[in-house]
Structure 1
Amino acid sequence: MVAKKQVNVDVLVVGGGFGGVYAVWRLRAEGFKIHLFEGTHRLGGVWSNNTYPGARVDSEFPFYQLSIPEVYKTWIWKERFPDWQELQAYFDHVDKFLDVSKDATYNALVDNATFNTEIGRWTVHTEQGHVATCKQLLLCTGSTYKQSVPNWEGLDQYTGKLIHSSKWPKGGMSAHGKRVAIIGSGSTAIQIVQELSKEAKELVTLIRTPNIALPMKQRKLSWEEQDSFKGFLNGMLKTAARSSYGGYPYNPTPAPSPRQLSVEDREKFFEEQYQRGGFNFGVGNFIAMLFDRTDNRIIYDYWVKKTRARMQDPVKRDILAPLEPPNHFMAKRCSLEQDYYEMCDKDHVRVVDLKVTPIDSFTTEGLRVGGEDIPVDIIVLATGFDNYTGAFSTMGLEGTDGKGLMERWKDGVQTHLGLTAPHHPNMWMVYGPQAPTALGNGPTIVEVQVDVIVDMIKKARDENIKYLDATPEAAQAWADDIAATSKTTLLEDANSWYMGANIPGKKREMLNYLKGLVQYEKSCRDAIPNWDGFVVEKETRVQRSQQSVL
């Protein structure tokens, strides 16, 4: 399609992943004039960029999909945990049935946005020269956009192939017969190690903190199995998933604490959860693990027993599954793996503990680690992202008081309901900071948020409201509540990206809403009837007539 350089709409949606697509569908149904800006060349959000070897989602079928009937009734998944190729095909399918592209401009990266309080409208510019005006600005930019690359000495001296995982070469890259180094221990690193270790001549995985990775238990899905689900999907996605803590409606545990069961009974329960795969052993485990160190250690000890049994090399076993936990179980996001520990145990794979032998510098031929030169042909940086807030850092989101959003947040994030921020009227955030974002199933969470936002925008339209602006007092109260909840949990102890601790200079604070999806939606909806926490500016009769002309 031909990109539109000038757009004038009721709602501008930024970001073409699950949140943006669902927002377009909902807003169209309510009669709003909308347009979507997407920074890449296609729909898919994070799956437009995540094309590295082994890239796949860690949310399982049937929950990682939109709850839109015309989409799920006409789509068949291949695997329990789809890979990036299948997810790109899924978004092509979504576009075929919803025709999002007719209201979208691709390769449009927002770099400036200002709000005019006199007319109650945003003006949004992109790097590519597009200009949009809108009454409501809906940011569906996700939590994993801006790369994080440590400032290593000599990084620019390396003459081999240097790749960040989110910028994988188009058309792929062969590691056959090559020496490869992979830096990182998150889900991306685990997936890449699993794949490239099967191809590389030598592979070095450099790990600062071992990942408490859980068995994925990947499997193929048949058409017959999925067809039998079709009649239940709407209830599962709209009711069961939304009624759970994080969008995964797992069965409740037999007791709040593992210590309330006999050793035999709790081991039986652990084994059942472990064998189910996915996040069952994590999200479906005893809730007390998030609050009680003893209960948390019991669960970790079971995991470490199962994991160490999969490796023969005692040195690698002690690095990857240490007897003493590197952090509390689930205090950092567990990754899902298929054969990670077995592949790391191979003779041609070397595991380096960066806490014992840190990276001294990059060299022209590779890395110097603990005084040792390690020559490699390819270095993969699986070093993660500036999560939650990084996506907003390049958008030039100016507040009505002259301050940019990132300047306002430098001493701590403040949002109202994890949806909007003071001095940024009629600007809404989906899957961003101070929402349930990273603690559950993405599509379920974004659908809850978008549904709330659309209901707010509808009510504002019905009441002739020019703009809604979150009050600083409400934002402070929301931040204080999240911080207070966090301090009751073991999550507070880990230097995780949940806490913003992976980015130097970023304030260490809990960036997730922790009370679960049900309570989150209730808190958001409780604010709607009386616009609790908002300044409400009404339109005059003249302004209403001007808007009808736009």
Structure 2
Amino acid sequence: MSETTSHDSVGATAGTDYDAIIVGAGFSGLYELHRLRDELGLSVKVIEKADDVGGTWYWNRYPGARCDSESHIYCYSFNEDILQNWEWSERYPEQPEVLEYLRFAADELDLRRNIEFETEVTSAAFDEDSGTWRISTDDGETVSSQFFVTAVGCLSEPYIPDFEGIESFEGFWTHTGKWPHEPVDFEGKRVAVIGTGATGIQVIPEVAKSDPEHLTVFQRTPNYAVPARNRPLDDDDWELIQSNYDEILQRAHDSGFGFPFEVGQETAADMTMEEVEEALEPRWQEGGFRFLLAFEDLLVNEETNEKVSEFLRGKIRETVDDPELAEKLAPKDHYYATKRPPLHTDYYETYNRDNVSLVDVTENPIERITPDGVQTADGHHDFDMIIYATGFDAMTGTLLQMDIEGRDGLTLEEKWEDGPQTYLGLTLHGFPNMFTITGPQSPSVLSNMPVSIEHHVEWVSDTIEHLVDNDIQLIEPTKAAEEAWTTHNRQVAESTLYTTVDSWYMNENIPDKPTVFTPYPGGVDLYHDTILEVAEKGYEGFELTESVQQLGREGEQPQLSVMKGD
């Protein structure tokens, strides 16, 4: 839609405070607010626990925090003015620039007046008598709405392992996802970084460059990382981008990962290692996620992936001067990209510094945190600062923290006891009129996030518009549809190499979480076609009703082509 559509206020007729409550003011929440308020004319409130917009880009302020999607495609595509009036300074923008971009978008669209900052949702419950949602916040207020939209992000609940004595440490310590707003000085300090995932790979070189007395990295699992090859963008770059922007963005939205890059060859299985290296070297030199798309069957063919993985191990060995250390940094327990595939700037080179060392915690585990450092099996390490780059309770963590209760007293925690169950990663049986933007069982973290976010926001907004225009009060997926999608998600995951390794994709970083592959691995393009098909078929797999009492009339199991394997 390009123009505001006039609707009677749903909130007024339903007796609610708002037509829709949105939780979160990052990429998802801002666009959802714009669609519902400005294009549908609904009354909307966004609840945001930070004191500004930005979502993950507000909280993750650690040194080296940088987007790993290229800037010109890590953006909104729906607004021509924002596209034309914002120019990114670098190929991969740093955190302050992404945050400034989201502030710019919020101001351009005049969104702040509908956002309540510094407020956290403590619970959300579906009221069966009124058929509405009641959302309570930490300031003691409770507001009601017909629609409840979670836009909380996939990596928003920081996780620190339950190390003994963690609170006893007397120096500076923090999680990268809760980085302080004031500068942190590493000069002359003894610094520990615990974790070598995507965040650790970004923060470790920056700490090392800040002249610490010594930096010690605690690694559980070595990681494959491809160079980003970041550089400034000049006027010529922007002229080329702007003149082709529509085509670039369309290719991104029609691709498997949300990137507008050409896929290379079909397979490396029948190629010699020399031929593989010849194919990969140009993409390695170019940097970024073009490398990920060198071979079409990378994530389903063991032979292809092992050749790509060996190429990367060879690059690590070439870069790290100490052969023994290089072997510790070269992964051999999993295939490339079956864990989140980070980009890096001088990560492996950092280990050639005299003041940087590595502790392999599989051989030398952390036993406890002490007032002045870290006790491992082989002795004590003294530190002034500890940085936990230990990741997140991903995909479901933030949703589960909100104490959400649906129909019949069913809590989200109970529903997902054995792993997430959704229909399309967007909706849940038993939770009417609730939508989860980039929720579990959607492409989300397996994609360039703004692309998936726009697909979700537009589908949710169009669905709400359909309900409003047709005086339909409630929408909820059937149990059969939810079970079919959950089964489909599992079957597609099991056909890939993703399930061959423990990862946060599989919830394996969080104790006691069920082992299940959480994102949807079938591709952004296939997924988008599927959710559009659901809507075109009259919201196949959903019940659309006038009252809560009418819910529960189970229909046929949906037979979408994607679920039949066509």
**TM-score of the two chains, using structure 2 as the length reference:** 0.91
Equivalent position of 2:253 in the other structure? 242
Q: Which amino acid aligns with 1:21?
A: L
**8 Å Cα contact 2:53-2:103 kept in structure 1:** yes
Letter of the 1:35 counterpart: K
- Given that 2:268 and 2:303 are in contact with CA atoms closer than 8 Å, whether structure 1 keeps it comes out as no
1:373 aligns with 380
The match for 1:120 is: 131
Structure 1, gaps ≥5 residues long: 1-5, 541-550
Are 1:394 and 2:401 matched, yes or no? Answer: yes
Which amino acid in the other structure matches residue 26 of structure 1?
A: R
Residue 466 of structure 1 is matched in structure 2 by 473
Alpha-carbon shift at residue 65 of structure 1 (Å): 0.6
Residue 363 of structure 1: CA displacement?
A: 1.5
Give, in angstroms, the shift of residue 362 of structure 1. Answer: 1.3
Q: Kindly report which structure 2 residues correspond to 1:444-523, keeping only aligned pairs within 5 A, or say none.
A: 444-523=451-530
Against the structure 1 CA distance between its residues 342 and 263, is the aligned structure 2 distance closer, same or farther, given a 3 Å change threshold?
closer
Q: Does 1:71 align with 2:82?
A: yes
Give the alignment of 1:87-236 within 5 angstroms: 87-199=98-210, 200-236=212-248
The aligned counterpart of 2:48 is 38
Whole-Å Cα distance in 2 between the matches of residues 77 and 258 of structure 1? 36
Secondary structure of the 2:387 match is: strand
1:415-434 counterparts in 2 under 5 A?
415-434=422-441
Aligned: 1:270 with 2:277: no
Task: Note closer, same or farther for the CA distance 1:236–1:131 as it changes in structure 2 (3 Å cut).
Answer: farther
1:300 partner letter: S
Q: Which amino acid in 1 is paired with 2:213?
A: K
Please state how far the C-alpha of 1:251 moved relative to its aligned partner: 0.7
Residues 459-500 of structure 1 deviation map (CA, whole Å, 9 limit, x = unaligned): 111221110112222111111111111111111011111111
CA RMSD of aligned residues (A): 1.6
Partner of 2:541: 533
Q: Which secondary structure state, in structure 1, belongs to the residue aligned with residue 297 of structure 2? A: helix
How far the C-alpha of 1:376 sits from its partner, in A, is 0.5
The code of the aligned residue for 2:256 comes to Y
In structure 2, distance between residues paired with 1:242 and 1:160 = 46
Give yes or no for contact 2:16–2:146 (8 Å, CA) kept in 1. no
Structure 1 equivalent of residue 24 of structure 2:
15
- Residue 66 (structure 2) aligned to one of 56, 72, 75: 56
* 1:136-169: CA deviation from partner (whole Å, max 9, x where unpaired): 1111100111111111122222222121111212
- Does the Cα contact within 8 Å between 2:158 and 2:393 map onto a contact in 1? yes
3-state SS, counterpart of residue 76 of structure 1: coil
User: Any conservation in 2 of the 1:76–1:223 contact (CA below 8 Å)?
Assistant: no
1:265 positional shift: 4.0
| Residue pair 2:368, 2:375 contacting (<8 A) in 1 also | yes
Match of 1:341 in 2: 348
| Cα contact 2:424–2:441 (8 A) shared by 1 | yes
How far apart, in 2, do the equivalents of 1:421 and 1:172 lie?
42
More moved, 266-275 vs 207-216: 266-275
**Residue 415 of structure 2 is aligned to residue 408 of structure 1:** yes
Q: TM-score, normalised by structure 1?
A: 0.93
Tell me how far apart the structure 1 counterparts of residues 471 and 246 of structure 2 sit (CA, whole Å): 34
Q: State, as a whole percentage, how many aligned pairs show the same letter.
A: 32
- The alpha-carbon deviation at position 261 of structure 1 amounts to 4.3
User: Which residue identity does 1:104 align to in structure 2?
Assistant: I
Distance 2:16 2:110 in 1: 18
Aligned counterparts of 1:169 and 1:138: Cα–Cα separation in 2: 29
* Post-superposition CA distance 1:210-256 (Å, at most 9, x none): 1101101010011342144224323322x2111100101211223x2
Q: Which runs of 5+ in 2 are unaligned?
A: 1-14, 549-566
Q: 1:524 aligns with which of 531, 538, 545?
A: 531
Higher mean Cα deviation, 462-471 or 521-530? 521-530
Find the counterpart in structure 1 of residue 311 from structure 2: 302
